[in-house]
Structure 1
Amino acid sequence: MKRIYIILAIIQLIAFSSCQNQTTESTNNDPIEEEHEDENTVSLSQEQIKAVDIQFDTIEQKVLKDLLKVSGELRVPNQNRAKATTLYPGVIKQIYIQAGNFVNKGERIASVTNADYIKMQEDFLTMTTQESLAETEYNRQKDLYEGNAGALKNLQQAEANFKALRARKASLMRQLQIMGINTSQINNGNLVTSLNIVAPVSGIVGNISVQIGSYVDTSTPIAEIIDNRKIHVDLHVYEKDLASFKEGQNVDFLLTNNPDKKFTATVYSTGSSFEENSKTIIVHAQVTGDKTGLIDGMNITAHMGFNDSKVDAVPNEAIVSHEGQQYIFVVDEDHLEKPNHSADEVSFTKIPVIAGKSDIGYTQITFIEEAPKNARIVTKGAFFVLAKLTNSGGDHAH
């Protein structure tokens, strides 16, 4: 019995010793846990930084304006646009313009012909002859009456006939002048067979609505002419923003279909009533400077700045968005002191910010957490740094 107890004790001792050895071995064989980078930090090599042209700078103090964004369209005043028409019906004989041509007011754009034009000139020539005869008869009757050789009734009739013919001739003369016919050059062998249609305003020729041989009357538009030199901007401004617009104030605007080029306009008047189907009031602004490419009816987006203030600001592309939060990347100046980092690497830490007003390519930022003083930030290439951080999926280099 005593021997059994001794054997059991030996077994327990061996087992205990084995456990101790295994524990020691396990402890000795466990890998040393490496320090991980923070999940908001990523490192890039100098080669990567150079390849994507990542640039750094400090946070600047900039004078920025609050920007008000409004929509609108380009308009040409009605007095600077017109549809050319003929004053008398006829058939189009010639067209002297093409769409896109610039024409001056009074310039010939087409000609129209009609047999009635000849008839009016014949009537004028006939009336001229009759008026001359009536004047002669009137003078004869006047002389007879003054010599007591003629009746007053005959004189009065001759006078009435003469004045009626003179009035009829004056009417025909005026009509021919309106048609563009020089009545002093009309004779039986030199009658005008076609009339010129001239531009009512100076400007660019738009749509041409007729062709040679088309019949036109006084209501038929020949061509549309628009003077884009007088183009202005109609801004649709809500009532709450109306006080921000003052006469003489400059407004920058972009074309909806070409947002790369900026134009400038100056406010000159404000509407006095709400637009139909909207709660906006039209603010009119005259386009200044270069008007190249501006066409009546184009949609625009305007930006107006006010309330200047000096704020912490970074270039617009320094701010990136991730999962609904905006961030900037700050250069970790202490990265060399951390384990497993080489001199060839630069570490960047993602810092949450609140973006404010934007102007002149910069955006105001407010830090949610305290940031290092005089920190260098990524001003160009922040999107690449964010992509590198998110693509790592939380698995950091060891």
Structure 2
Amino acid sequence: MKTKILIYISLALVCSGMLTACGRKEETTQPAMVPKDEYRVTLTDAQLRNAPVETRQLAAQPVAAVLKLNGKIDVPPQNIISVSTPLGGYLKSTRLLPGMKVTKGAVIAIVENPQFVQLQQAYLEAKSKLHFASLDYDRQKLLNQSQASSDKIMQQAQSEMNSQQILMNAVAQQLQLVNISPASVTPDNIRRSIPVYSSINGYVSKVNVNIGKYVNPSDILFELVNPDDIHLNLKVYEKDLEFLRPGLRLVAYTNTNPDKKYEGVVHLISRNVDAGGLAEVHCHFEKYDRDLIPGIYMNAEVQTETTLTHVLPEESVVEFEGKTYVFIEEKTKTYRLTPVTVGTMEKGFIQVLNDQDFSGKNIVTKNAYTLLMKLKNTEETTE
């Protein structure tokens, strides 16, 4: 019995030893799993020859900070002309349409009114009475000199002459208000219609009347705009006023055509802040463009004072999954994709805001996108 027990124990020990040996063999043959670094890429010598990689460290360079604003095209009040007629009347003719060019002194409408006839009649009557009063005064003056007429009669004649002179001059001024020259008014040349002239060189922005319509003296027939002093009226928040001053350069563009840039300069800065915390900035364009008409909404980028900041060439920065990165050289032929926070772009360089993360490090400045493609291809192959 003891012999059988010893045999069973021996067999158990042998089996146990075999199982342990097999376990150790499996452990030694299984390869160790090394986690892959998804942000590191290594190039071969052949790859470097086909796409040479250049590196550099951050460099300090003066960069102008950009303040982004928006506003509308506007013209100063003195360049917007509202056309009306002092006595009103019926619009007899006009050929104006919005957008049409006008020149100073050109006839833009004809207005008809019976009051024009009455004014010319009053002028001719006053002129005639003035002539008679002048003759009577000259006669009374001669009689007074020969003691044939009293001083009182001569003074009355002089007063009548002066009254008629005042009346004629007053009516003459009214005629000039309606563009009738008093010198042209004669008994044979009485007109019932008068011309309306353009007082500026510009274009028509509004037409508020039609032929046959009666207009009152307070009605505006047309609105004319002189574009010589067209400007950009920007809105700026109170907190940003300290960064602005007259003379700063800007670039403006519309939402419909953002690629077309209009250069300008800050001219005036309002010191009045409205209830919404906004102030107005008056800017002038360097060159007038006929496409810029009052009311157009525009965006503007104002270059504020330059500051010394760390920059990299724009080609150093790559975009990946909606974020910006640069490649840092870890060792020869090995580079790491590293997040970067960028700011202003100017003249081919881009501002690095988290510059402290790259102190003393070599950053790839050439073929950065080649490294990104290699990194992405490696990930896809691994998957």
Q: For residues 250 and 187 of structure 1, do their structure 2 counterparts lie closer, same or farther at Cα, with a shift above 3 Å needed?
A: same
- 1:116-265 matches, within 5 Å, as 116-238=115-237, 241-247=240-246, 249-257=247-255, 258-265=257-264
- Higher mean alpha-carbon deviation, 124-133 vs 206-215, is at 124-133
Q: Please name the residue that 1:350 is paired with.
A: 337
Q: Which residue of 1 aligns with 2:301?
A: 302
Shift of 1:98: 1.7
- Does the 8 Å contact 1:239/1:281 carry over to 2? yes
**Residue 289, structure 1, aligned to residue 287, structure 2:** yes
> When the two structures are superposed, what TM-score results if normalisation uses the length of structure 2?
0.78
> What is the CA deviation profile of residues 211-270 of structure 1, one whole-angstrom value per residue up to 9, with x for unaligned ones?
1112112211112222232123344445554444344x2221323524333333333444
Letter in 2 for 1:352: P
* Matched letter for residue 75 of structure 1: D
How far apart in 2 are the matches of 1:11 and 1:287?
99
Q: Work out whether residues 67 and 359 of structure 1, in 8 Å CA contact, stay in contact via their aligned partners in 2.
A: no
Contact 1:42/1:388, CA 8 A, preserved across alignment: no
Q: Which amino acid aligns with 2:7?
A: I
1:343 corresponds in structure 2 to none
Shift of 1:206: 0.6
2:95, 2:109 within 8 Å by CA — same for their partners in 1?
yes
How far did 1:316 drift? 7.6
Does residue 382 of structure 2 align to residue 397 of structure 1? yes
* Contact 1:105-1:202 at 8 Å conserved across structures: yes
Shift in Å, 1:397 = 1.6
| Percentage identity across paired residues of the two chains | 23
Instruction: Give the AA of the match of 2:103.
Output: N
- After TM superposition, the structure 1 stretch with the greater mean CA deviation from structure 2, 18-27 or 230-239, is 18-27
1:375 aligns with 2:364: yes
Q: Secondary structure at the match of 2:258?
A: strand
> Counterpart of 1:225 in 2: which secondary structure?
strand
Does the 8 Å CA contact 1:104/1:199 hold for their aligned counterparts?
yes
Q: How has the CA–CA distance of structure 1 residues 110 and 188 changed in structure 2, closer, same or farther, with 3 Å as cutoff?
A: same
Q: Using the TM superposition, give the Cα deviation of residue 378 of structure 1 relative to its aligned residue in structure 2, in angstroms.
A: 4.9
Structure 1 range deviating more: 285-294 or 17-26: 17-26
Of 10-19 and 297-306, the range deviating more from structure 2: 10-19
- Displacement of 1:117 after TM fit? 0.8
Calculate the TM-score normalised by the size of structure 1. Answer: 0.75
Deviates more, 1:103-112 or 1:283-292: 283-292
Farther off after superposition, 81-90 or 359-368: 359-368
Structure 1 residues 317 and 218 mapped into 2: Cα distance closer, same or farther (>3 Å)? farther
CA distance in 1, matches of 2:117, 2:96: 26
Distance of 1:380 and 1:296 partners within structure 2: 44
Secondary structure in 1 matching 2:139: helix
Letter in 1 for 2:286: T
Cα displacement (A) at 1:150: 4.1
Change (3 A) 1:292 1:138: closer
Shift, 1:115, TM fit: 1.4
Whether the aligned pair in 1 keeps the contact of 2:55 and 2:364 (CA below 8 Å) is yes
Does the 8 Å CA contact 1:256/1:300 hold for their aligned counterparts? yes
Q: Distance in 1 between matches of 2:79 and 2:54?
A: 51
1:213 and 1:137 map into 2 onto residues whose CA distance is: 47
2:86 alignment partner in structure 1: 87
Closer/same/farther in 2, CA of residues 362 and 373 from structure 1, 3 Å limit: closer
| Partner AA of 1:253 in structure 2 | V
User: Please, which moves more after superposition, 210-219 or 170-179?
Assistant: 170-179
1:265–1:288 CA contact under 8 A, matched in 2: yes
Aligned to 1:375, what secondary structure does the other structure show? strand
Judge conservation of contact 1:84–1:224 (CA < 8 Å) in 2.
Answer: yes
Stretches of structure 1 that go unaligned for 5 or more consecutive residues are 45-53, 336-346
1:364 corresponds to:
351
Residue type at the aligned position of 2:201: S
| Deviation digits for residues 274-316 of structure 1 (CA, Å, limit 9, x no counterpart) | 3220445444333223545333343433322323326332318
Distance 1:240 1:351 in 2: 34
What are the within-5 Å matches in structure 2 for residues 95-134 of structure 1? Answer: 95-134=94-133
Deviation at 1:94? 1.3
Query: Is contact 2:238–2:278 with CA below 8 Å preserved after alignment?
Result: yes
Deviation at 1:198, TM superposition (A): 2.0
Which residue does the alignment assign to 2:48?
none
Q: Distance in 1 between matches of 2:369 and 2:171?
A: 78
What CA RMSD, in Å, does the superposition of the two structures yield over aligned residues?
Answer: 4.0
The residue identity in structure 2 corresponding to 1:135 is S
Q: Distance in 1 between matches of 2:227 and 2:185?
A: 40
Deviations 1:170-202 (A, max 9, x none): 222222123222333333332222122222333
**Displacement of 1:33 after TM fit?**
6.1
3-state SS of 2:259 partner: strand
SS at match of 2:110: strand
